[in-house]
Each structure stands twice: as C-alpha cells, then as structure tokens.
Amino acid sequence: MDETLTGKVVLVTGGAKRVGAAICRLLHARGASVMLHHRASVQEARELQFELNAKRADSVALIQADLLNGASLPDLVKTTLGRFERLDILINNASSFFPTAIGEITEKSWDDLIGTNLKAPLFLSQAAAPELRKRHGCIVNIIDIHAEFPMKNYAVYTVAKGGLLTLTRSLARELGPEVRVNGVAPGTILWPEGEEWGDELSRQRIVNQTALKRIGEPDDIAKAVDYLVSAAPYVTGQVISVDGGRSIAL
C-alpha cells in the first residue's frame, strides 16, 4: 500500500473498535503514527495497539479520556505532541448514540449526546488548531446521514450531528487556508448495539432503502477518510455521504 502519510501523526477519537478501528488501521497502513483515544474499550484498544505496533514498532500510542470532561480535551492534544512531537490530522469519530423520545429527554442525555458528538469535536479542534495550522493539517468529522434526514425518537442525537455538520463547514472557513476541514456521513455500516436494531425485518427494510441493497463496511468509511486526508488537497468544508445511496431515498 502507498504509504502517503509516512511521517504524519493522526489523533483518532473512539479508535478502539468498529469504524474508529478501521480508520486507525488504514491510516496506519498509509504510514501514519496513531494516537488512539478510547474511553472504556481498554481491551480492544490494547489489542489494536499491539496489532499495529507489531507491524511498525512504537507507531501507536493510547490515551484514555472521557470526552464529556471538557477540561481533559486539550490534554489529548498535549499528550499527542508529547509522544510524537507533532499532530497533522484530527479525526473526530467518537460518538454516543441512543434514542431520546420527546417526553423522555433529560439533561443528562442532552449533555451526553451533545457533549460527545458536538462539544468535544469543537473543543478538540480548537485545541489542535495551532499545531494543525503549523503543519497545514486537516480535520475529518464523522457525522451521519441522519444529520439531514432525522430519525424518529432520536431528536437529540440528530441535533448533535446536525451541529457537527454545520461545525465542519464553519471550521473550514475559520481555519482556512492552512487547515482543511471535512466530514464523512455514514449510512448503515454496522448495526447499532441495542435490541431495537436486532429485528431482521426492520433491518431488511432499511437495507431496501439503499440503492445498492446492502449495508456497508467500516472500511468504506475509512477509505472516504483516507481520501479526504491523503488525496483531496483542494477539498474543504465538504461532507461525503457513504450510505449506499440511502440518502437519495429518504
């Protein structure tokens, strides 16, 4: 594989499993060193670190943090600089996802969903901005097609991802010309964890809404991220939907 990112350093939030792990693997294969953030997925993070360091020694480090603790967010950037002496790419991937039906919304659920999906990306981007400007780096935010096509019973999540979409465009204006900021909006890639997503009939109904009549893979998101990071020097303020054509049917 072409190691386009050799010498670059990437910070990936929520990088221990699912889509985050796929992003870490692909950008690492491209030559990047990785600061892998996780919150509770300690075992998965250690296993991925071991896997990737076996391919290239001392190229992956771990940092554990709760992104709801705003005071800790600048420390993710400081720790990355302390370990690798630079930061070129920030991937805001970590996300909380759970339903909040009208009438049942609490401040706790609001703080969780807004905190992980919008507040943390904003303050991490702010903390990383000076170094990213210095390196002419980039930010990629993992959004969701439902930022523009709301799901019933997921009002707060939708608001958070809608805010992240707007934040992506705002940061592109704020941080240009030195820093590019883009987003990737996944459709159905992996089924969410939870009973409501386990019904096969409901799953098939969602699949039938896609033009390609199938769900995607985490690598589909990772490849879109790789494009924005590695091969899109004149692209900023844009969001790529990776959804098998589902958004054109919604």
Catalytic one among 154, 157, 227, 234?
Answer: 157
Q: Which residues contact 93 (CB under 8 A, 6 or more apart)?
A: 12, 13, 14, 15, 19, 20, 23, 142
Q: Which residues contact 181 (CB under 8 A, 6 or more apart)?
A: 125, 138, 139, 140, 141, 168, 169, 171, 172, 175, 236, 237
Rounded to a whole number, what is the largest CA-CA distance in the chain?
Answer: 52
Amino acid letter for position 108: K
Instruction: Give the CA distances from residue 58 to residues 14, 28, 32, 78, 233, in Å, rounded to whole numbers and listed in that order.
Output: 20, 12, 11, 18, 28
Instruction: Give the CA distances from residue 43 to residues 25, 58, 64, 72, 188, in Å, rounded to whole numbers and listed in that order.
Output: 16, 18, 12, 22, 26
- Distance CA(120)–CA(156), nearest Å, equals 15
| Strands of 44-137, DSSP E | 60-64, 89-92
What is the chain's alpha carbon radius of gyration, rounded to the nearest angstrom? 17
Quick one: DSSP state of residue 154? B
**154 belongs to the catalytic site:** no
Tokens matching residue 20 = 């985050």
Tokens matching residue 249 = 């049917």
Catalytic residue set: 157
